[in-house]
């Protein structure tokens, strides 16, 4: 894995290709892209109109000929062509100010634990078509663990819960490998749907996805808060069909989220139950680390501690952990070699 002479000068990238957000870490430069995984396309001519935040602002507001799509579902590429265009946009954006002589980058991409060979190949092909010279595929919890500085090469148990947008990845890692793990489709997007369903059932209101996410960020919590939070809930009254606004508090939003939070905790406990006892002893001493955007939910660490009896901490800057870890792996070739998933199609 010795890089070529010119390869030493390429802008190698670590990418967290997430359902909700895509983050890109450039070697030696840090996080340069942190944008929603959303693309707006003119379906009349196939032209990309907007990517990232600009496209996300169009959700629910477009005429029929403009389609706003999220090309990844539960961390998996659902629309290959659009994913390729999105990746190419982000890679080109980083290289825009660089010399034309700089070679194409090597790219490390984080993927969900239960990704299939076909899905893994789709990720690699999309990145290659978008301009990558060589692609390395790494499991997200492993990349997150590297990004937050856990000693994954040591014979100790490291438990990571990567609470993303499409999936929550729960993994126990030791000696550069995943010992026990589970990927569940209950994460940030599901919490948004919980709020939408709660508003429909309790208030007879129809909410948009963006409004639900804004309410989750403003008032969402997993445990009771010391100070009450109230936020407006704006949507369409299902009885009158007219716009409507009511005030809701953190207790009501917590009630909406409670079933999903409990399900996540149940899965964490189920992984602990099948983890070798020596590693469980390490985890009891070292605790669980939460990464991903969902780690920002108020009180999620306390809720998991209460549910498992284990110490839990939220990683510093949890949203960027996977991208930072992917980027750091580029600077550690031997570790990258150890943790890279087998390629289904050897890329040069």
CA dist., res. 205 & res. 202, Å (int): 8
What pLDDT digit, counting tens, does each position of 1-25 carry? 444 444 454 679 999 999 999 999 9
Report d(CA 108, CA 322) in Å as an integer. Answer: 10
Residue 346 has pLDDT above 80, yes or no: no
Given the DSSP bridges, would you call strands 66-69 and 39-42 parallel, antiparallel or unpaired?
antiparallel
Q: Strand locations in the chain, DSSP E?
A: 13-17, 21-26, 30-36, 39-42, 47-51, 66-69, 72-73, 76-77, 106-111, 134-139, 158-163, 168-174, 177-184, 205-206, 230-237, 243-249, 288-291, 312-314
Taken in order of first residue, the domains within the chain and their CATH numbers are 6-143+321-339 (3.30.420.40), 156-186+262-319 (3.30.420.40), 188-256 (3.90.640.10)
pLDDT of 193 above 60: yes
pLDDT band at residue 348 under the 50/70/90 scheme: very low
Q: For 194-250, what is each residue's pLDDT tens digit?
A: 999 999 999 999 999 999 999 999 999 999 999 999 999 999 999 999 999 999 999
Yes or no: say if 260 and 290 are a contact pair by the CB < 8 Å rule. Answer: no
Residue 250 buriedness (CB in 10 A; 0-12 / 13-18 / 19+): buried
State the pLDDT at residue 1: 45
Cα(61)–Cα(35) distance, integer angstroms: 19
Confidence of residue 27 (pLDDT cuts 50, 70, 90): confident
pLDDT digits (tens, 9 = 90+) for 122-173: 999 999 999 899 999 999 999 999 999 999 999 999 999 999 999 999 999 9
């Amino acid at each position: 894995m010795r890089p070529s002479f010119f390869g030493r000068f390429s802008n190698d990238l670590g990418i967290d290709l997430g359902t909700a957000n895509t983050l890109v870490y450039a070697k030696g430069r840090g996080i340069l892209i942190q944008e929603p995984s959303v693309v707006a396309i003119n379906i009349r001519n196939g032209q990309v109109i907007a990517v990232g935040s600009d496209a996300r602002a169009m959700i629910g507001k477009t005429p029929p000929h403009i389609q706003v799509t999220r090309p990844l579902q539960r961390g998996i590429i659902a629309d290959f062509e659009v994913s390729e265009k999105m990746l190419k946009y982000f890679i080109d954006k980083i290289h825009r100010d660089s010399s034309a002589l700089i070679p194409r980058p090597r790219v490390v991409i984080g993927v969900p634990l239960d990704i299939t060979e076909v899905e893994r190949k789709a990720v690699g092909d999309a990145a290659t078509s978008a301009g990558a010279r060589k692609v390395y595929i790494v499991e997200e919890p492993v990349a997150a663990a590297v990004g937050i500085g856990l000693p994954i090469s040591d014979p100790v148990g490291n438990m990571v819960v990567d609470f993303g947008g499409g999936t929550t990845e729960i993994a126990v890692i030791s000696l550069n490998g995943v010992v026990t793990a589970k990927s569940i489709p209950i994460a940030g997007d599901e919490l948004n749907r919980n709020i939408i369903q709660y508003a429909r059932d309790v208030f007879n209101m129809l909410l948009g996805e963006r409004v639900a996410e804004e309410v989750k960020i403003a008032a969402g919590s997993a445990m009771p808060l010391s100070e009450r939070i109230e936020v407006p809930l704006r949507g369409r009254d299902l009885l009158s069909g007219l716009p409507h606004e009511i005030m809701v508090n953190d207790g009501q939003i917590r009630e909406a989220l409670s079933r999903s939070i409990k399900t996540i905790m149940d899965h964490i406990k189920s992984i602990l139950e099948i983890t070798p006892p020596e590693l469980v002893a390490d985890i009891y001493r070292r605790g669980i680390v939460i990464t991903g955007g969902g780690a920002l939910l108020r009180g999620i660490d306390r809720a998991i501690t209460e549910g498992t009896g284990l110490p839990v901490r939220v990683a510093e800057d949890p949203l960027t952990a996977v991208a930072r870890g992917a980027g750091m792996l580029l600077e550690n070739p031997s570790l990258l070699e150890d943790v890279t998933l087998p390629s289904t199609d050897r890329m040069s």
